[in-house]
């Protein structure tokens, strides 16, 4: 089912939503912003984009459920098919006019991620993958970075913005990365971070305090580009559990695993 025709239909569903977001940014006012919880912002753009996206995706798979940031739809009762949707990953960037934000869509079939797309609007880059078919950016095949040493690697992360329960572990991991990597970047969009791991711009990524819609698409992109993604601990759960796990390490299979060891050590995960 996850063939070229399905991939094109998914792109046809997502790109118009991206165009809507880009057009709304031109005249956007911060007065349209609401606060859902601490540092969790939302605007009519997120809400309308999700509405459009859910409607289009429902047309592709009428029986599929939805795990969506703004609460549209509901998960499938039997867990057979679920879209995992973030209509605007990087809302704070969008609100402040920082051009790094993306539409992120993953598709779970039972406990396995089978399709993914991240449409990064700042550079008009559409990343896509289907299980067993590789990963692409704007139609061109992509691979993770070949860099093996963590000391030569650029690592992406996301700063804690509402869950401060493990700040010591996080800052200790950052300190280790300052010493043992080429540098750290925080773009403000986990979906974009993972897409950039998939195409080799970053060697690895880690973050905690994540939501399913932040990472579902990116996990499959990284894997289909030849990389690895898993939890902070030594055990990597099935995909459905992993996207709900609230923490993720991803990267190529050399530097990514080295970063995983650092994270595992400082967060003291078994």
Same domain, 52 and 109: yes
Predicted pLDDT of residue 15: 98
Range of the domain at 188: 150-267
Tokens (6 digits) for 121:
């609007």
Q: Is the pLDDT of residue 239 over 80?
A: yes
Predicted pLDDT of residue 14: 98
- Which residue reads 């977001």 in tokens? 21
Q: Mean per-residue pLDDT for 226-249? A: 95
Q: What is the pLDDT of residues 90-110, one digit of tens each?
A: 999 999 999 999 999 999 999
Question: pLDDT > 90: what percent of the chain?
Answer: 86
Same domain, 48 and 19: yes
Per-residue confidence at 161, pLDDT binned at 50, 70, 90? confident
Mean pLDDT score of the chain = 94
Same domain, 158 and 130: no
User: What does the chain come to in residues?
Assistant: 270
Same domain, 126 and 175: no
Query: Are 241 and 215 in contact, with CB atoms under 8 Å apart?
Result: no
Same domain, 124 and 96: yes
Same domain, 129 and 235: no
Element (H, E) at 29: none
Query: Are 65 and 82 in contact, with CB atoms under 8 Å apart?
Result: yes
Q: Which residues, in sequence order, are CB contacts of 204 under 8 Å at separation 6+?
A: 150, 153, 155, 156, 197, 249, 250, 251, 252, 255, 256, 258, 259
Tokens (6 digits) for 241:
């559990």
Domain boundary among 141, 167, 186: 141
Read off the DSSP letter of residue 120: E
Element (H, E) at 221: helix 212-224
Per-residue confidence at 40, pLDDT binned at 50, 70, 90? low
Predicted pLDDT of residue 163: 82
Q: Mean per-residue pLDDT for 39-50? A: 81
Total number of domains constituting the chain: 2
Same domain, 156 and 125: no
Tokens (6 digits) for 48:
């309308």
Per-residue confidence at 79, pLDDT binned at 50, 70, 90? confident
Same domain, 122 and 170: no
Q: Is the pLDDT of residue 125 over 70?
A: yes
State CA 44 to chain mean position distance.
Answer: 21
Predicted pLDDT of residue 1: 61
Predicted pLDDT of residue 166: 92
Q: What is the pLDDT of residues 196-225, one digit of tens each?
A: 999 999 999 999 999 999 999 999 999 999
Domain boundary among 103, 118, 141: 141
Q: Is 102 left (phi over 0), alpha (psi -120 to 50) or beta?
A: beta
Predicted pLDDT of residue 136: 98
Tell me which of 93 and 40 has the higher pLDDT: 93
Query: Are 190 and 198 in contact, with CB atoms under 8 Å apart?
Result: no
Query: Are 150 and 259 in contact, with CB atoms under 8 Å apart?
Result: yes
For residue 25, give the CATH number of its domain. 3.30.540.10
Q: Is the pLDDT of residue 41 over 70?
A: no
Tokens (6 digits) for 76:
């499938």
For residue 260, give the CATH number of its domain. 3.40.190.80
Per-residue confidence at 2, pLDDT binned at 50, 70, 90? confident
For residue 33, report the phi and psi dihedrals to the nearest 5 degrees: -95, 140
Same domain, 37 and 120: yes
Predicted pLDDT of residue 42: 72
Q: Is the pLDDT of residue 30 over 80?
A: no
**Regarding beta strands 204-208 and 247-251, do their DSSP bridges make them parallel or antiparallel, or are they unpaired?**
antiparallel
Domain boundary among 83, 107, 141: 141
Same domain, 169 and 108: no
Predicted pLDDT of residue 37: 66
């Amino acid at each position: 089912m996850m063939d070229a025709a399905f991939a094109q239909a998914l792109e046809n569903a997502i790109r118009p939503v991206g165009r809507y977001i880009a057009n709304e940014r031109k005249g956007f006012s911060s007065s349209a912003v609401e606060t859902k919880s601490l540092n969790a912002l939302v605007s009519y753009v997120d809400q309308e984009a999700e509405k459009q996206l859910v409607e289009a995706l429902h047309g592709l798979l009428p029986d599929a459920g939805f795990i969506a940031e703004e609460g549209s739809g509901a998960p499938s009762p039997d867990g057979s098919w679920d879209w995992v949707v973030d209509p605007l990953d990087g809302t704070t960037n969008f609100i402040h006019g920082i051009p790094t934000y993306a539409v992120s869509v993953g598709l779970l079939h039972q406990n396995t991620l089978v399709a993914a797309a991240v449409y990064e609007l700042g550079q008009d880059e559409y990343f896509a993958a289907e299980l067993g078919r590789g990963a692409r950016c704007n139609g061109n095949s992509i691979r993770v970075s070949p860099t093996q040493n963590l000391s030569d690697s650029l690592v992406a992360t996301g700063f804690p913005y509402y869950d401060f329960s493990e700040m010591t572990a996080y800052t200790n991991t950052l300190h280790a990365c300052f010493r043992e990597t080429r540098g750290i970047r925080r773009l403000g969009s986990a979906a974009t971070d993972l897409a950039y791991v998939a195409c080799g711009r970053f060697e690895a990524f880690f973050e905690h305090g994540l939501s399913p819609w932040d990472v579902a698409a990116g996990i499959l992109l990284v894997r289909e580009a030849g990389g690895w993604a898993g939890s902070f601990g030594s055990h990597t759960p099935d995909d459905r559990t992993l996207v709900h796990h609230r923490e993720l390490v991803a990267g190529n299979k050399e530097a990514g695993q080295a970063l995983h060891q650092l994270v595992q050590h400082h967060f003291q995960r078994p």
